[in-house]
Chain A
Amino acid sequence: MEEVLRLVVERYNYWIYITLMMIGLYALIAKNNLVKKIVGMNIFQTAVILFYVSIGVKKGATIPIIEHNYDMAHQAIRAADYVNPLPHVLMLTAIVVSVATLGVALAITIMVYHRYLTLEEDEILKQIRES
């Protein structure tokens, strides 16, 4: 039991991202409304982004900006003092990608709405079957 608790507490960032991911996946699979599905998709993407952001963190470290005091140039910079900026930078790109996906998805949803005048998937499928 203690083992499990430690696993949960020590790695809580992983548990959070997996929970978020599953919420998103559930919405993608189970929801009937197309916009809700898109929201689920976005939660799914955000979960991965949060996962990346969380892995850059170090205990007791600060933001990765190096101070340039004039007599500090000779001092070695200890990597352990700064959080890892690379995953965060990568996620800037991933956020752009997810925004683009969201935009395309919403634009296409508008097309779907104009064509079927509803966003409920079962009603759309019924219309398709009848036509």
Chain B
Amino acid sequence: MSQYYPALLIAIPLLAALFISASGWLRPALCFPLALTALGGSLLVSLGLLSNVIRGIPDVYLFGGWPPPWGIYYRVDHLSALVLAVVSIVGFVNLIAARPAVEKEFPEKAAPFYTLYVLFVTGLLGMVITGDAFNLYVLLEIAAITGYALIALGKGRAPLSSLHYIFMGTIGACFYLLGVGYLYIITGSLNMEDIARLLPPLYESKVVTVAFVILMVGIWLKMGFFPLHAWLPNAYTHAPSPVSSLVAPLMTKVMVYVMIRMVLTVFTVDYAFLVLKLNDAVVWLAVIAIVAGSLLALAEKDVKRMLTFIVVAEVGYMVGGFWLGNRAGFIGAVLHLVNDALMTLCLFLAVGNIVYAKGNSQWDSLPGLFRTMPWTMGALVVGALSIIGVPPTCGFFSKWYLLLGAIQGGHYGFLAALLFSSLVSVVLFFRIFEISYFEPFGASHGPDHGEDGPAGREAPLGMLVPLWMTALGLVLLGLYTGEIVDRVIRHAVPGMML
């Protein structure tokens, strides 16, 4: 059974998406349970894969029985098993929280929503698990196209933002495809490990350099790395809340994973760090991304929009940490990938609850929230502390590794950017706490705040339970950081970085 896990991981949600869209016509009530079962199934499978990897059992699945250089194969190692687990956990938890919001905001579109949701998660899981560069492009586009459609479900400016995202996302995906094309020209292979085997004698070739640069630009565009982030804030802000809490934690993180995978498995660390010597330049780009993301977040007056700029800054953390090129930086980047997925999920879920209760997440609707929605705001505080990096939560530990990496690598610009961004996060979140705790809500609701001001309307239980599961997860993840690093991430560190 367990040798089919890699294929099942993709097959379950892919087939389920078909059934969900069919049941949309026949029995709309079945859509949600079907989606839940499908994602629950792939969650179990991905946890099975993770435990297999920890126990040292290799998971390779050859499609159609074709051996690697010819056929597509799925391969799970420590890094991908960890990211698979994160993706399926976030997808599953967020699905539970999505239901009330879907029923309130677009009940008539529930079936398409769940179909696209499951397909989106399928695409992301596939991107993480595949061992074939072209297959990755196809899965990337599955995730991207469903993502465009999901974002366009929102109100107001959402379709326009989604359209801009399509333009940028398509350019990014085309660049990726072009990079793969150049690799194919020079090696004649599409299999990641086969390319890595064929590349070493060709390191001096300009074609490889071009392929590398084009691939990286495409991936950076997709992950919203700072100068290429322009599509991200609008798309994530105007998307309906269950969508932004799905897309924002996952899309950028999975693209960071793809970047790491491309450098580690395809081009190899030797090429990226020793032949090209781009690492210093990229870390400086990451510094700019962190500082710019933090400053832009400071200018916003809407919680959700502010969070999108924090996502931009966090992408800088991970890219910078990885390109530091030392052990601590690498561990920090991977750990931050895991933590940040859960932190952003927690924050976006909390904001989703606020939007559910208040209709928007503008600062005007914040006052008095600690009294009316204590549970939501409590979880928001946990998430915020984690983003800032306060010890018991997981955000502290990954930031610690990143800082350690910056010191060991002697990259003090990155160190300063990390500290600066943490300080800005303190300002950002405590401003929100101050407004929602201390500011008298009478002031913003006029003198007669009888009807919708302080009326105690907490979000429904179906949204609070997943939110608190995530918030507790942040603390647990922090407490078990040592285990995760020791059992999983340590094995993923490439030999050169030791």
Contact = CB atoms under 8 A, between A and B. Distances in A.
Contact of B162 (A55, A90, A108, A124): A108
Given A37-B167, A93-B138, A115 B177 contact: no
Interface in A100-115: 100-101, 104-105, 107-109, 111-112, 115
Contact of A48 (B148, B149, B166, B178): B178
B145 A101 contact: yes
Contact of A128 (B157, B171, B181): B157
B379 to A, nearest CB: 32
A124 B171 CA distance: 23
A48 B174 contact: yes
Contacts of B492: none
B170 interface: yes
A115 B137 CA distance: 33
Interface size class of A (residues with CB under 8 A): 20 to 34
A112 B159 contact: yes
A41 B163 CA distance: 11
A104 B159 contact: no
B170 A101 contact: yes
Interface in B145-187: 145, 148-149, 152, 157, 159-160, 162-163, 166-167, 170-171, 173-174, 177-178, 181, 184-185
B458 interface: no
Given A90-B134, A93-B138, A100-B141, A109 B163 contact: yes
Interface in A1-26: 25
A127 B134 CA distance: 42
Contacts of B138: 93, 97
Interface residues of B, number: 25
A93 B142 CA distance: 12
- Interface residues of A: mostly helix, strand, loop or mixed? helix
B375 to A, nearest CB: 34
Contact of B184 (A25, A37, A55, A108): A55
B174 A44 contact: yes
A115 B159 CA distance: 9
A57 interface: no
Contacts of B178: 48, 51
A56 to B, nearest CB: 10
Contact of A111 (B145, B159, B167): B159
Interface in B176-204: 177-178, 181, 184-185, 190
Interface centre among A51, A97, A107, A116 (most CB of B within 10 A): A97
A34 interface: yes
Interface of A: 25, 28, 34, 37, 41, 44-45, 48, 51-52, 55, 87, 90, 93-94, 97, 100-101, 104-105, 107-109, 111-112, 115-116, 124, 128
